[in-house]
Structure 1
Amino acid sequence: MPVAVQAADPLSRAGAEAQLRRFPGVAVVDPSGAAGPGTVTVLVAESADAAATAALRRLVRGAGQRVVLVVERLRETELMEAVECGVAAILWRREATPERLGRAVLAAARGDGDLPADLQGRLIAQVGRLQRSVQGMPGQAPTGLSERESDVLRLVAEGWDTGEIAARLSYSERTVKNVLHGLTTRLQLRNRAHAVAHAVREGYI
């Protein structure tokens, strides 16, 4: 499994690479060279500030990589921003042992999410507050998702491709594509990742 490490300082990068080399099945690659689509990138940062968020967008949306974000601290607004950027896993630096870092990388490679328990609680609470604030706005009509749209988006969020989603839900692949196209067009969303982020923000999945 190709894994690249990006960090603001060479010491953090060297430390993360040394830990990953101890994990079976991981091949550490140069982030400026062999890292391409399908690579898992470990991004080490103090926080999910503007620079880290820009790096997340570039890696996920531009390079097609899955990202494990290792941070020292994370504010609630930064947490939601990281999720919307498409981060696959978040790990506290103080908990980034070789075993824990390796598990997060494997989860990202499989398309699974991996968040510390305290961040899961914060994310759920934040999504709930956002949903209540939107519902409480005068004249704000809920966009809503159909049951079929929610089912499809939930599987997209879990990393399933079109064929797998079709088989799981007993739909044709064309039906799955039509559901996603109709959803993104109706809500003016850019792509599948944006649709998942919207559904998370609104509390639909």
Structure 2
Amino acid sequence: MTATLTAPPAAPAVAVRVVPAPGAERIRALAERAGLEPGADECASAGTVTVIVAADTERALRVPRTPGPVLFVCDAVSPEGRRRVLRAGAVVIGAAELTEDSLLRAVHRAAHPHPSIPYPELSGVLSTGIRPHGLPTPGTPALTARQTSVLRLMAEGHGNADIALLLGCSEHTVKNVIYELMTRLQARNRAHAVAHAVRHGLV
């Protein structure tokens, strides 16, 4: 008996449109070397990732953009700036960490959003704690102080036993809090719960 092996379907091609700005030529060159298709300069079509180059996320978020996936390339990316970009539904990468490979990964993340957030980015978002103006998105359920504490420890990779030890409560209590979190945020798993909370300003 002969088995037939079927190759997995190739990932759909992604086009990038780089908004004219200082440093944009470098991004275009990297995109070309990475095998990304150039998008039309005038406007973004469906499936085209618009790349916006700026000194920081504050300036990047002020650049007018067309609907569709967006990738920001910024010289400076603060935790609060990263948080705001995530809440805007975009992806950001620091200019210093830019390579063909990292650009390719960032473009594909922008083009094909996933419910969870990569750990390095999530860690950067949560590293400074809650900011005074970090208000939840309207219509999003608020979390209690205990739920927020558990969520932050989940984001740092702690298991239920560690969380119970750090918060001075029982593991049973932690399990109940996580269950309440999942229900309140309508999350499918722990990573989805953390991603949802970050994107909606709950942490």
Question: Hey, what's the Cα distance between the residues in 2 that align with 1:21 and 1:116?
Answer: 28
Pair 1:68 & 2:68 matched: no
Q: Which position in structure 1 is the counterpart of 2:110?
A: 108
Does the 8 A contact of 2:182 with 2:193 survive in 1?
Answer: no
Counterpart of 1:143?
142
Aligned to 1:2: 15
Question: What's 1:27 paired with?
Answer: 37
Contact preservation (8 Å) 2:60, 2:74: no
Asked which structure has the greater CA Rg, the reply is 2
Check whether the contact 1:67–1:108 (CA below 8 A) recurs between aligned residues: yes
Quote the offset at 1:148 in angstroms.
6.2
Q: Say how many residue pairs are matched.
A: 145
Pick from 56, 60, 67 the counterpart of residue 52 of structure 1: 60
Taking the aligned partners of 1:106 and 1:53, their CA distance within structure 2 comes to 20
Change (3 A) 1:7 1:47: farther
- CA distance in 2 between partners of 1:67 and 1:15 (Å): 18
> What is the aligned counterpart of 1:41 among 37, 43, 50?
50
1:107–1:114 Cα contact (<8 Å) kept: no
**TM-score when normalising by structure 2:** 0.57
Looking at structure 2, the residues matched to 102 and 40 of structure 1 have their Cα atoms a distance apart, in angstroms, of 11
Would you say the 8 A contact 1:23–1:99 is kept in 2? Answer: yes
Q: What TM-score, normalized by structure 1, do the two folds share?
A: 0.56
The two structures, once aligned, show a CA RMSD in angstroms of 3.6
Aligned sequence identity (%): 22
Distance 2:80 2:110 in 1: 22
| Aligned equivalents of 1:31, 1:4: Cα separation in 2 | 6
**Partners of 1:2 and 1:39 within 8 A in 2:** yes
1:187 corresponds in structure 2 to: none
Give the 3 Å change call, closer, same or farther, for CA 114–3 of structure 1 in structure 2. Answer: farther
Describe the superposition over 1:55-109 as per-residue Cα deviations: whole angstroms up to 9, x where unpaired: 2xx43xxx3311121111123332222222221x221112211121112111222
Could you tell me how far apart the structure 1 residues matched to 2:34 and 2:142 are?
45
